[in-house]
């Protein structure tokens, strides 16, 4: 028996939606040759990561095995799959393979970090393949909500693995490749060792709908509008942008793209040839000159992002365009959980202006890009894998997906980030656990999620911050009185005096009456002052403030 | 023609969901006699109000007219209607009227602030009425998701106003009074001047469902469960708690209530006689002794609140109870927008333990407590008011509700918080604008939403905080070097040195090279140090930190 093993190791994307990063390895333990699938990001929020710019997978494990990495494969150009290539490339150093559209986006990101175009290699789709050490990898086209999305067919000495990436089963996807079960059945013929499979929509009970299903609804809505029409969707959903633009054109409107991402994605689509028949677009300047019933804007900001075009239009004005009573704003999108407040804020702002807002609450103007529960079953049955490994989902999605596979008689395992699974045997088996986590891009610096930096920010946000400065002379006597500044705290407390005054008086009294041993010892003095400050703060305003003490000693 | 006018003035609840507070006035301008309807709270969030404990309406306008206030009427015992009585009573001083169940809850809140039971007066429902200056007010029972909810029939010299409060049209509400259109038609007979009407569900297109509709679904679900069953809903939804408990009892389970609010609400219901036939409950200690398939827990925390019973069970243990693989957790509730992350966190934690979670995504285990769009039309048509004034909703709800009324031929106006509307003429007319806002209960202190305190907290959370201490001697020379502390910022920047060291060096250089004029002037020195600190911080870590400077002068 060979001691060489085929392993699967998610470093991001398993146990969460976002930040996808999966590793496959083959070889003897500790000497595996590795490939990486996807290098994505996830986005921060005020609840847990205030001030953070971007969240990246922690790739320390990979970095330590840099010399074992054969290649990086990117399945598609969504931020949660490709967003980290520029930030992490230097630490991995392996060539990046993807199809033309994805490569266009990836190269843009690499350029921002000063990496040459050559770091990203464009490959043709299946049946062409790329050899990477013991792996032979093919990009198998599949429908999703961005062009040229591909599953990966990964041939290994221990058999064929199909890594679905994100997918849906759409035979009429408008832009991009249709779902072709014949081709997939062909791929399955030699037998599939493992199907590593998207779990996002495992809780959606009905079969997924096609992108084409909503074209008529969109056209009817736009045709009936009497004022300006503005629609938002993910810019990367090029099929939707095209459907919207064509519907607008048929309704006699000139199309104007607004927002950097919107223009960037259409440009990439045109450059790489994935987008034909896109209506002529006009500039915002020209749009502003036309009667508003002849204009349709396609804008960024479907998730209520504060700086996107939709939010700026809701706030008043964007690039000279201003909405008014009787205009129509369409969310051709689903609100991602957690973004509800931002989206609702915008809807209410539009309501105040008198703009009618239409969202997807009826399911008429949006379809999902992920396979629903019956579609997953279709995929399982078509591929007949020895085992299903659910990925791309929170724990609840992975667990439900594994149960679905098991109910249908297929072996499955719930493997969250950091779980190394051996695929070599007849059943998936946990081969170990790897320390994983998140890396925060914070300004220009990368920090660890557990460094305590963000924790301190959250504490200041919850509790406010008291700063105390005391000066001690050569004899360890206080020189003058302590000085207190507060930030994020009420100025007046229950004793009806300024909080800083009460704090200064109480700290002064403490320092005066403290023994020499305490006054001579920075740590003890610091600790004592903090204790007094916290108690006074609690008494005065009922809060446990954060306290920073600066002790200056004249020597 | 009389110069006396009937006015309506929302101070909370119109342009938001939460913090309800409506004022009606009658009299000559500036001499109106006033009544207040509801005194509610709204809840803070990390996005906009970190560290805040509770949000109250700003009642400065009312406080200035304290002597004009005849009475306060509370429609029902939800927190967004009664939650502020204890916090604001002292500043208003008028008697509080409500029905027995609401009074029980209100008195508990008053007691927490040291107010006597007598401040709250229990009244009987319509046709009994209470006279308050020029107003005669009756509590007209209506179905909602808490017992003894009432609309108010407000008779005034200018006609009859019906203030619906929160309501749904439920003929079989399980607990509390059914919707009785005959009684309402009777109330409408003399003619209704204005219908001030709940707008929450104006976007829900189908007629609302009855609380009774889900009883069978709940029973089937609980009967089929093989492990322990835990269900959560709003504790105040006494009808739901009863339905759940009865379904559990029929399935052969002993019922255990967990969470302070759950026990408090059931106690109030029993005391005031609104709850009959509630199954015998057992203590957590006894529940822990029973086989798990014989136990059903009813717990608080349907919105994912971190300290509620559901979150604690998801974290591991609560009052000796611990869930495990094969148990069932049911959300018999809707997630309020903005709470999705908290709820999903709990669901994933349960998934990790192996607990099956059922939520309301299929509409089988929850019905709303508010009137849907067709129900609003039913109400409009039954009451045939001269005008509809939408309330209890965000701007988008108020606007849509006004459009609905206008489409059906009734006059309507969108009046958000602070809009004083005259109801005396044939159409609603804006009579002025009043400054309104939010008051934050922050620890033990009340602060204004615009005081800048919370803004400073948000800034520290986003940007981190640099604290600089410099000591200047009698000759305006720096004594020693500046001292820098950072909080919520990375320790090492791009120059690979400690951020505090780089900051100290740059600030030292600035102070040394600054002219005497700057060094002698606190404001100028402070400003200069801030500028240097910000620039260094931007260069080193790419962030615009908050900076606090403490200048100590030896004199």
Q: Taking the domains of chain B in order of start, what are their residue ranges? A: 5-206+368-448, 211-358, 464-553
pLDDT in tens, A470-524: 999 999 999 999 999 999 999 999 999 999 999 999 999 999 999 999 999 999 9
Q: Which of B407, B450, B461 to mutate to test binding with chain A, by most A CBs within 10 Å of its CB?
A: B461
* 3-state DSSP assignment of residue B380: helix
Q: Do domains A211-358 and A464-553 have the same CATH topology?
A: no
pLDDT at A225 > cutoff 90: yes
DSSP 8-state code for residue B68: G
pLDDT in tens, B512-534: 999 999 999 999 999 999 999 99
Peptide bond into A127 cis (omega under 30): yes
Find, among A37, A32, A34, A35, the residue nearest to A13 by Cα: A37
DSSP 8-state code for residue A213: G
pLDDT at A1 > cutoff 50: no
What is the average per-residue pLDDT within A322-338? 94
* Spatial distance between the Cα atoms of A222 and B294, rounded to a whole number of angstroms: 57
The neighbouring-strand residues paired with B492 are B498
Per-residue b or e along B454-481, where b marks 16 or more CB atoms closer than 10 Å to that residue's CB: bebbbbbbbbbbbbbbbbbeeeeebbee
User: Are B328 and B225 spatial neighbours (Cβ–Cβ below 8 Å)?
Assistant: yes
What is the average per-residue pLDDT within A526-545? 98
Option in B50, B338, B395 nearest A340 (CB): B338
Percent of chain A with pLDDT over 70: 100
The neighbouring-strand residues paired with B382 are none
DSSP letters spanning A366-414: ---SS-BHHHHHHHHHHH--SEEEEESB-HHHHHHHHHHHHHTT-EE--
In the A/B pair of chains, how many CB contacts fall below 8 A? 193
Instruction: Quickly name the fold that domain B211-358 has.
Output: Rossmann fold (3.40.50)
CB contact under 8 A, B50 and A456: no
On average, the pLDDT of chain A sits at 96
Tell me the two tokens of residue B49: 């109000």
Helices (H), B75-198: 79-82, 85-92, 100-112, 181-188
User: Are B408 and B380 spatial neighbours (Cβ–Cβ below 8 Å)?
Assistant: yes
pLDDT digit string (tens) for chain B, length 555 residues: 458 999 999 999 999 999 999 999 999 999 999 999 999 999 999 999 999 999 999 999 999 999 999 999 999 999 999 999 999 999 999 999 999 999 999 999 999 999 999 999 999 999 999 999 999 999 999 999 999 999 999 999 999 999 999 999 999 999 989 999 999 999 999 999 999 999 999 999 999 999 999 999 999 999 999 999 999 999 999 999 999 999 999 999 999 999 999 999 999 999 999 988 899 999 999 999 999 999 999 999 999 999 999 999 999 899 989 999 999 999 999 999 889 999 999 999 999 999 999 998 778 999 999 999 999 999 999 999 999 999 999 999 999 999 999 999 999 999 999 999 999 999 999 999 999 999 999 999 999 999 999 999 999 999 999 999 999 999 999 999 999 999 999 999 999 999 999 999 999 999 999 999 999 999 999 999 999 999 999 999 999 999 999 999 987
Contacts of A203 in chain B (CB under 8 A): 361
Please tell me the distance in Å from B122's CA to the nearest CA on chain A: 33
Residue A328 has a pLDDT of 97
CB contact under 8 A, B489 and A453: yes
Could you tell me the strand order of the sheet in which A438-442 lies? A54-57, A438-442, A445-448
Number of DSSP helices (H) and strands (E) in chain A, helices first: 17, 26
User: Are B471 and B479 spatial neighbours (Cβ–Cβ below 8 Å)?
Assistant: yes
Nearest CA in chain A to B544: A443
Find, among A378, A391, A25, A383, the residue nearest to A196 by Cα: A391
Q: How confident is the model at residue A401 (pLDDT cuts 50, 70, 90)?
A: very high
Q: Which class is B5-206+368-448 in CATH? A: alpha beta
Option in B443, B460, B490 nearest A460 (CB): B460
* Spatial distance between the Cα atoms of A364 and A209, rounded to a whole number of angstroms: 11
Contacts of A351 in chain B (CB under 8 A): 394-396, 399
Option in B354, B361, B541 nearest A203 (CB): B361
Residue A2 has a pLDDT of 55
* Location of structure tokens 């050559």: A118
Nearest CA in chain A to B339: A338
Find, among A492, A233, A334, the residue nearest to B448 by Cα: A492
User: Are B290 and B254 spatial neighbours (Cβ–Cβ below 8 Å)?
Assistant: yes
Nearest CA in chain B to A540: B444
Find, among A540, A550, A539, A545, the residue nearest to A466 by Cα: A545
Query: Tell me, what's the ipTM?
Result: 0.93
* Spatial distance between the Cα atoms of B375 and B53, rounded to a whole number of angstroms: 35
CB contact under 8 A, B454 and A488: yes
Please tell me the distance in Å from B212's CA to the nearest CA on chain A: 25
Residues A51, A56, A60, A64: what is their CA dihedral angle, to the nearest 10 degrees?
-130
* Spatial distance between the Cα atoms of B355 and B352, rounded to a whole number of angstroms: 8
Nearest CA in chain B to A401: B351
Nearest CA in chain A to B205: A362
Tell me the two tokens of residue B363: 């509409």
User: Are B201 and B268 spatial neighbours (Cβ–Cβ below 8 Å)?
Assistant: no
The C-alpha angle A94, A99, A101, rounded to 5 degrees, equals 115
What is the average per-residue pLDDT within A549-555? 90
Please tell me the distance in Å from A418's CA to the nearest CA on chain B: 15
DSSP 8-state code for residue B482: -
Domain boundaries B464-553, corresponding CATH code: 3.10.20.580
Number of DSSP helices (H) and strands (E) in chain B, helices first: 17, 26
Please tell me the distance in Å from B522's CA to the nearest CA on chain A: 14
* Spatial distance between the Cα atoms of A296 and A301, rounded to a whole number of angstroms: 16
Contacts of A474 (CB under 8 A, 6+ apart): A554, A555
User: Are B465 and B546 spatial neighbours (Cβ–Cβ below 8 Å)?
Assistant: yes
CB contact under 8 A, A467 and B464: no
* Spatial distance between the Cα atoms of A35 and A22, rounded to a whole number of angstroms: 8
Contacts of B394 in chain A (CB under 8 A): 344, 348, 351
Nearest CA in chain B to A355: B396
Lowest mean per-residue pLDDT among A70-79, A357-366, B78-87: A357-366
Q: Which of A43, A50, A483, A548 to mutate to test binding with chain B, by most B CBs within 10 Å of its CB?
A: A50
Q: Which of A16, A51, A346, A364 to mutate to test binding with chain B, by most B CBs within 10 Å of its CB?
A: A51
The neighbouring-strand residues paired with A22 are A10, A37
Residues B245, B250, B255, B259: what is their CA dihedral angle, to the nearest 10 degrees?
-20
* Spatial distance between the Cα atoms of B284 and B275, rounded to a whole number of angstroms: 22
What global pTM score does this model have?
0.95
CB contact under 8 A, A341 and B45: yes
Residue A406 has a pLDDT of 98
User: Are B415 and B421 spatial neighbours (Cβ–Cβ below 8 Å)?
Assistant: yes
CB contact under 8 A, A493 and B445: yes
Option in A347, A445, A453 nearest B396 (CB): A347
Please tell me the distance in Å from B339's CA to the nearest CA on chain A: 8
Contacts of A344 in chain B (CB under 8 A): 337, 394, 396
Q: Which of A307, A334, A464 to mutate to test binding with chain B, by most B CBs within 10 Å of its CB?
A: A464
Contacts of A304 in chain B (CB under 8 A): none
CB contact under 8 A, B554 and A479: yes
Tell me the two tokens of residue B401: 């509700």
* Location of structure tokens 């591909």: A150
User: Rg (Cα) of chain A, in Å, rounded?
Assistant: 28
* Spatial distance between the Cα atoms of B204 and B185, rounded to a whole number of angstroms: 25
Peptide bond into B127 cis (omega under 30): yes
DSSP 8-state code for residue A489: S
């Amino acid at each position: 028996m060979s001691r060489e093993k085929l392993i699967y190791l998610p470093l991001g994307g398993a146990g969460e939606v976002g930040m996808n990063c999966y590793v496959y390895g083959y070889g003897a333990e500790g000497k595996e040759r590795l490939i990486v699938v996807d290098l994505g990001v996830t986005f921060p929020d005020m609840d847990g990561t205030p001030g953070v710019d971007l969240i990246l997978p922690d790739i320390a494990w990979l970095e330590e095995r840099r010399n074992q990495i054969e290649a990086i494969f990117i399945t598609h150009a969504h931020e949660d799959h490709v967003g980290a290539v520029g930030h992490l490339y230097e630490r991995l150093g392996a060539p990046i393979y993807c199809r033309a559209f994805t490569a266009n986006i990836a190269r843009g990101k690499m350029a921002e970090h000063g990496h040459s175009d050559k770091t990203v290699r464009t490959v043709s789709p299946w049946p062409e393949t790329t050899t990477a050490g013991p792996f032979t990898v093919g990009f198998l086209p599949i429908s999703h909500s961005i062009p040229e999305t591909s599953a990966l067919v990964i041939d290994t000495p221990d058999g064929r693995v199909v890594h679905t990436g994100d997918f849906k089963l759409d035979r009429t996807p408008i832009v991009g490749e249709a779902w072709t079960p014949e081709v997939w059945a062909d791929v399955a013929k030699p037998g599939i060792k493992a199907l590593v499979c998207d779990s996002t929509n495992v809780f959606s009970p009905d079969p997924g709908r096609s992108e084409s299903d909503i074209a008529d609804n969109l056209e009817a809505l736009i045709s009936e509008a009497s004022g300006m029409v503005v629609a938002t969707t993910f810019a990367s959903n090029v099929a939707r942008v095209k459907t919207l633009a064509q519907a607008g054109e048929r309704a006699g409107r000139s199309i104007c793209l607004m927002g950097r991402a919107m223009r960037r994605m259409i440009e990439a689509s045109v450059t790489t040839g994935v987008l034909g028949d896109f209506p002529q677009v006009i500039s915002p300047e020209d749009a502003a000159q036309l009667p508003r019933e002849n204009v349709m804007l396609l804008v960024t900001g479907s998730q209520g992002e504060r700086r996107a075009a939709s939010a700026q239009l809701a706030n008043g004005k964007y690039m000279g365009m201003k909405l008014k009573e009787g205009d129509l704003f369409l969310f051709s999108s689903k609100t991602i959980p957690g973004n509800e407040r931002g989206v609702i804020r915008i809807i209410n702002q539009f309501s105040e202006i008198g703009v009618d807002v239409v969202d997807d609450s009826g399911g008429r103007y949006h379809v999902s890009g992920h396979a629903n529960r019956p579609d997953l079953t279709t995929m399982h049955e078509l591929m007949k894998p020895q085992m299903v490994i659910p990925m791309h989902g929170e724990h609840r999605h992975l667990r439900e997906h594994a149960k679905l596979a098991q109910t249908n008689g297929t072996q499955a395992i719930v493997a969250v980030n950091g779980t190394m699974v051996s695929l070599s045997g007849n059943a998936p088996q946990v081969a170990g656990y790897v320390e994983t986590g998140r890396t925060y891009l914070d300004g220009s610096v990368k920090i660890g999620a557990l460094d305590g930096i963000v924790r301190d920010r959250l504490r200041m946000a919850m509790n406010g911050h008291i700063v105390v400065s005391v000066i001690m002379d050569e004899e360890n006597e206080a020189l003058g009185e302590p000085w207190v500044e507060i930030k994020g705290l009420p100025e007046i407390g229950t004793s009806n005096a300024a909080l800083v005054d009460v704090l200064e008086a109480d700290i002064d009294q403490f320092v005066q009456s403290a023994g020499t041993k305490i006054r001579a010892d920075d740590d003890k003095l610091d600790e004592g002052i903090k204790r007094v400050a916290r108690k006074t703060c609690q008494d005065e305003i009922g809060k446990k403030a954060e306290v920073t003490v600066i002790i200056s000693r004249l020597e």
